[in-house]
A = this chain, B = another copy of it.
Amino acid sequence: MRTFDKSYSLLDRASKVVPGGIPGHQSPTLLVFGSSPCYVERAEGARFWDIDGNEYIDYMCAYGPMVLGYNHPKVEQAARAQGQMCDTGNLPTQRYVELAERLVGIVPIADWAIFGKNGSDVTTYACRVARAHTGRNKIIMAEGSYHGIGAWCTPFETGITPEERVNMLPFQYNDTEEFKRLLEANSQEIAGVILTPFRHEAFHDSEMPAPGFLETVRKTCDDIGAVFVVDDVRAGFRMHMGGSLESFGVKPDLICFSKALGNGHPISACVGKDGLKDAASQVFFTGSFFSAAVPMAAALATLDEMEAIGSVDLMYERGEMLKDGMLDQADEHGQEVNYSGPVTIPFMTFAGEDGWEKSKLFCKECYDRGVFFHPFHNWFISAAHTEEDIKKTLEATNAAFKRVKQEMG
């Protein structure tokens, strides 16, 4: 039985000087409060250690960034070398151009790239480019989709004015008919559509795009001259190196990347087609650290290593192994589960649950056995997960399923 005394004692200390103790998606109230750690001390490869010294095989990958594993030697070496030259400067470094060229080389739809820090920076920027390009204001998005903390999309509306969301038109992800109706009814006003490559918001099973859905979005956008934006912040480089929609053979106009791009270094990117470049250059997009060179050197090294080791295929293999193992175990322990999403970005819930009690117990039992899953948010496989890691993980999940059956049937 692990203890989290240092975690919760530091959380108490934090609560005095930090609103909510730990703000945002890392809040312990969004994990298994009392039974999950609150602070990390160290991380390496596919593992991390919390401040109580508990070790975990990690399936959250810092909520996505760690695609090659924590503290990756080649990435960190490139970052350190660049840091000794220049990071944040008066002007960009050559890394900016090299990274743009690299993304243009890797991502089929990309003719250009621009860089920010946060996923929110680029999803918001992409909407502005769509507006600048079309001279229209309305943007279609899927209800509940997470695109960051922009006023137009943040999931919690406290502090947001109604006017900031009035140009967003929501529809149900995958509802092709509703999408077509919405688009046709507003065709003269629609600047664009922003979608994640599959439905992956928290507290919800993931949903892959329905057959024909993405193709309809592409075609109807073309029909009315609207811009098709893909928010690939979460899924990027875990489904396909060229943008996740390449998996489905559909070409968007703009793609937003972040998370995995720099293997933990803070960087985001918007890439797009040539036809959008003029509009893209007219939207003011800047920040003190947007052209910082260390995350760009890290991203170049991350892209190199992902290509060199074939990280997407590797993660699919490991992801299949985890999925097959867990589904067998669920069956064996009489648990009906929904295992959803691409296997590289999987999520598992217990079917027919009213609350999330089985999910919470399952995760708690995994924490106690040194495996870190999330009860409410999709997980992430990295290229650092070895077969041995998956085998050890499956020992923990087997015990966790067994306990869930014992306690909750």
A interface vs B, CB < 8 Å?
10, 13-14, 16-20, 22-26, 37-43, 48, 50-51, 58, 60-66, 70-71, 76, 79-80, 83-94, 96-97, 100-101, 104, 111-114, 117-121, 124, 127-132, 137, 148-149, 151, 154-156, 158-161, 163-164, 166-167, 233, 258-259, 264-266, 277-292, 372
Question: Judging by beta carbons under 8 Å apart, are A94 and B23 in contact?
Answer: no
Chain B nearest CB from A352 CB (Å) reads 29
Question: Judging by beta carbons under 8 Å apart, are B281 and A20 in contact?
Answer: yes
- Chain B residues whose C-beta falls within 8 Å of the C-beta of A282 in the assembled complex: 156, 158-159
Chain B nearest CB from A327 CB (Å) reads 25
The 9 A-B residue pairs with the shortest CB-CB distance in the complex, in nearest-first order: A24-B286, A128-B159, A19-B280, A19-B281, A266-B289, A156-B284, A20-B281, A88-B264, A40-B89
CA–CA, A163 and B189, complex, Å = 15
Question: Judging by beta carbons under 8 Å apart, are A113 and B288 in contact?
Answer: no
- Choose from B17, B149, B291 the contact partner of A104 (Cβ within 8 Å): B17
Query: Would A158 and B137 be within 8 Å (CB), given that A94-B10, A151-B164, A280-B19 are in contact?
Result: no
Chain B nearest CB from A208 CB (Å) reads 23
Question: Judging by beta carbons under 8 Å apart, are A92 and B163 in contact?
Answer: no
Chain B nearest CB from A98 CB (Å) reads 10
CA–CA, A37 and B160, complex, Å = 41
- Chain B residues whose C-beta falls within 8 Å of the C-beta of A372 in the assembled complex: 90
CA–CA, A89 and B49, complex, Å = 10
CA–CA, A264 and B93, complex, Å = 14
- Chain B residues whose C-beta falls within 8 Å of the C-beta of A148 in the assembled complex: 287
Chain B nearest CB from A274 CB (Å) reads 10
Query: Would A163 and B160 be within 8 Å (CB), given that A40-B86, A51-B94 are in contact?
Result: no
CA–CA, A94 and B38, complex, Å = 10
Chain B nearest CB from A242 CB (Å) reads 16
Question: Judging by beta carbons under 8 Å apart, are B264 and A87 in contact?
Answer: yes
- Chain B residues whose C-beta falls within 8 Å of the C-beta of A121 in the assembled complex: 118
- Chain B residues whose C-beta falls within 8 Å of the C-beta of A23 in the assembled complex: 114, 281, 285-286, 290
Chain B nearest CB from A400 CB (Å) reads 18
